[in-house]
Structure 1
Amino acid sequence: MAGKRIALSWSGGKDSCMTLDKLAKAGEEVACLLTTVPREIGRTFGHGERTELIAAQADALGLPAEFIACSFDSYTEDYVARLGELKAIYGLEAIAFGDLFLAEHREWGTRVAERVGLEALYPLWMPPGETGEALKAFVASGYRAVVIRVRDEALSPAWLGRELDARFYADILLERNVCPMGEGGEYHTFVYDGPLFRKAVDWVPGERLRLETTTRLDIGPPTA
């Protein structure tokens, strides 16, 4: 029996990827990836990636990428309006989010889904104390990810560009007051290869950009 037709909220990072992997293993049908893009900036809301890299991920995964243009002042209303359109286009029955334990995020996603008549799914939901094991599982999963953003008060820029491997896992557990999965925004990642990818996403590191409260590694596609 076919699973639900699901839209997946996609940031490009490990949590999104873990959610997709879990849904696929459960036999659910992910119909499209949803990524919000601020009209004011033109990069992703989640991590600040270039939209072409998100599109490259979607292509490598064999899934449509849908970008939702949102304004800072009307984010929720913009999201709801476009999600309703995509529900009709893809025959969606549910939307999945990669949140782990932040109640306010789950409340927002559930309200948005209800307004559009969709079920809200949180396949990764877990107690905060299980995030270390979740990171360990990701490291062992075969997916490959790199750190592209850190919150300055939590981690130094030295973490930028690091692969999420066994050494990363060991080192992050030594950081006090840092969620191993970065659920508090301590770090963000970009996934570029793994079991569900038909091909690796090519990328190259760019400059490090110091922002208001974070530092970002500006990655991009290889230049010809």
Structure 2
Amino acid sequence: MRVVALISGGKDSCYNMMQCIAAGHQIVALANLRPDENQVGSDELDSYMYQTVGHQAIDLYAEAMALPLYRRTIRGRSLDIGQVYTKCEGDEVEDLYELLKLVKEKEEVDGISVGAILSDYQHTRVQNVCKRLNLQLLAYLWQRNQEDLLREMIASNIQAVIIKVAALGLDPDKHLGKTLDEMEPYLLELSKKYGVHVCGEGGEYETFTLDCPLFKKKIIVFVLPTTSSARSICELSEHTKL
């Protein structure tokens, strides 16, 4: 099956792509939704659907994979937030629909790779878009044990670094820039103490993938600053290269 991968730059979308390939599918293109860069505070959009932290380096991600990248600016907002989504003009889900509609026309894809693990909200909305476009949803991580997934990602040589922290026990001065391998023991400890989701499914942290078996080039971060202690996010745009 010809597949487009919906990517944020993080570990989950990367590992799901690896699972797609292991299942015999072909990743032919990448798709990403980004915030309006002219909007104040565009580093991280307040979205129920999309991870936008690290969006400045997505072009490098696509170059590392040597695949065409399709991007669309998020114009909509979270309007229909019910358990069941129906087409809603002005909702951010419609940005995903338009993006995937374009990719389907250009690349003749049959399926979409999505790294969703736990969020019913996201999963339901992607399913809605897939049904409308007659695309098969490939979500191999869906509802799997997060401790197992984290171990598998590390064992699969996904080199992803923490680019945002937002949970009790996670300190931007200590943990931003750390790899999954370095963070695994501590994340497991936080899970036992405070119920932290070890894969960050509760928004505890976000990652950006610098290297994995799918990459033809490695992304190098030569400076990893914190934009502000209050926001606990690092800016990647001027600090990454292949």
TM-score calculated relative to the size of structure 1: 0.87
Structure 2 unaligned regions, length at least 5: 45-49, 78-89
Aligned length: 216
Q: Distance in 1 between matches of 2:138 and 2:19?
A: 12
Q: Residue 129 of structure 2 corresponds to which residue in structure 1? A: 112
2:188 aligned with 1:150:
no
Alpha-carbon shift at residue 29 of structure 1 (Å): 1.0
Q: Distance in 1 between matches of 2:136 and 2:148?
A: 27
* AA matched with 1:102: S
1:123-138 aligned within 5 A: 123-127=140-144, 130-138=145-153
Q: Describe the SS at the equivalent of 2:232.
A: strand
The alignment-based identity, stated in percent, is 27
1:82-97 aligned within 5 A: 82-97=99-114
Instruction: Please tell me whether the aligned partners of residues 35 and 52 of structure 2 are also in contact (alpha carbons under 8 angstroms).
Output: no
2:71 aligned with 1:54:
no
Structure 1 unaligned regions, length at least 5: none
* AA matched with 1:47: T
Q: Distance in 2 between matches of 1:84 and 1:30?
A: 17
Q: Distance in 1 between matches of 2:185 and 2:229?
A: 28
1:16 pairs, out of 13, 16, 22, with 13
2:220 aligned with 1:205:
no
Instruction: Please tell me whether the aligned partners of residues 154 and 178 of structure 1 are also in contact (alpha carbons under 8 angstroms).
Output: no
Q: Distance in 2 between matches of 1:126 and 1:79?
A: 22
Instruction: Please tell me whether the aligned partners of residues 60 and 199 of structure 1 are also in contact (alpha carbons under 8 angstroms).
Output: yes
Q: Deviations over 1:16-67 (max 9, x none)?
A: 110111111111011211110122546575132243x211111111211111
Q: Residue 164 of structure 1 corresponds to which residue in structure 2? A: 180
Alpha-carbon shift at residue 194 of structure 1 (Å): 2.1
Distance 1:43 1:92, change over 3 A: farther
Q: Deviations over 1:80-125 (max 9, x none)?
A: 1232121111101111210112212110110111122212221111
CA RMSD of aligned residues (A): 2.2
Q: Residue 68 of structure 1 corresponds to which residue in structure 2? A: 72
* AA matched with 1:203: V
Q: Distance in 2 between matches of 1:132 and 1:11?
A: 21
Q: Which runs of 4+ in 1 moved over 3 A?
A: 40-45, 220-224
* AA matched with 1:218: E
Instruction: Please tell me whether the aligned partners of residues 164 and 206 of structure 2 are also in contact (alpha carbons under 8 angstroms).
Output: yes
Q: Residue 34 of structure 1 corresponds to which residue in structure 2? A: 31
* AA matched with 2:66: G
Instruction: Please tell me whether the aligned partners of residues 13 and 113 of structure 2 are also in contact (alpha carbons under 8 angstroms).
Output: no
Q: Distance in 2 between matches of 1:43 and 1:89?
A: 29
Q: Deviations over 1:154-185 (max 9, x none)?
A: 622122111111x4111110102211111111
Q: Describe the SS at the equivalent of 2:178.
A: coil
Distance 1:161 1:206, change over 3 A: closer
Q: Distance in 1 between matches of 2:21 and 2:214?
A: 9
Q: Distance in 1 between matches of 2:137 and 2:55?
A: 27
2:193 aligned with 1:186:
no
Q: Distance in 2 between matches of 1:117 and 1:154?
A: 43
Instruction: Please tell me whether the aligned partners of residues 154 and 186 of structure 1 are also in contact (alpha carbons under 8 angstroms).
Output: no
Q: Distance in 2 between matches of 1:194 and 1:8?
A: 15
Alpha-carbon shift at residue 142 of structure 1 (Å): 1.4
